[in-house]
Structure 1
Amino acid sequence: MIVTALRDILGTDQDVSGPGWNSRRLLLASDGMGFSLTDTVIKKGALLEIEYTHHLEACYCVEGNGQIKTSDDETWHPVEPFTLYALDQHDRHMVRATDADLRLVCVFNPPLSGGEVHRKDGSYAPSS
Structure 2
Amino acid sequence: MIVKHIDDITGTADEIRADNWVSKRVLLGKDGMGFSFHETTIFPGTETHIHYQNHLEAVWCIEGDGEIETIADGRKYALGPGVVYALDQHDEHWLRGGKQPLRVICVFNPPLTGRETHDAQGVYPLLTEEASS
Residues 59-115 of structure 1 show CA distances to partners (whole Å, capped at 9, x for unaligned) of 000010111111012221011101000000111111111111111100000000112
The answer to whether structure 1 residue 81 and structure 2 residue 81 are counterparts is: yes
Moved over 4 A (4+): none
Using the TM superposition, give the Cα deviation of residue 124 of structure 1 relative to its aligned residue in structure 2, in angstroms: 0.7
Partner residue, 1:15? 15
How much has 1:120 moved relative to structure 2? 1.3
1:100 and 1:90 map into 2 onto residues whose CA distance is 27
Q: What is aligned with 2:60? A: 60
Q: In the alignment, residue 69 of structure 2 is paired with which amino acid?
A: K
1:58 and 1:87 in contact (8 A); partners too: yes
SS class of match (1:114): coil
2 CA distance for matches of 1:74 and 1:15?
Answer: 32
**Aligned: 1:104 with 2:104:** yes
Structure 2 runs not aligned, ≥5 long: 129-133
Query: What is the number of residues matched between the two proteins?
Result: 128
Q: Is the 8 A contact 2:116 2:127 kept in 1?
A: no
Q: What is the distance in 1 between the residues matched to 2:27 and 2:105?
A: 11
For structure 1, the 5+ residue unaligned runs are none
What SS does the corresponding residue of 1:30 show, helix, strand or coil? helix
Normalised to the residue count of structure 2, the TM-score between the two structures is 0.93
Question: 2 CA distance for matches of 1:88 and 1:28?
Answer: 20
The 1-side partners of 2:70 and 2:4 are apart by: 33
Deviation at 1:18, TM superposition (A): 1.1
Q: Following the alignment from structure 1 to structure 2, what is the Cα–Cα distance between the partners of residues 4 and 118?
A: 26
Q: How far 1:127 moved relative to its partner? A: 2.2
Contact map agreement 1:44 1:99 (CA 8 A) in 2:
yes
Q: Percent identical across equivalent pairs?
A: 45
Aligned to 2:96, the other structure's residue is in SS state: strand
Task: Kindly report the root-mean-square deviation, in angstroms, between the aligned alpha carbons of the 2 structures.
Answer: 0.8
Superposed CA deviations along residues 16-49 of structure 1, whole A, max 9, x for unmatched, are 0112111100000010100000000110001111
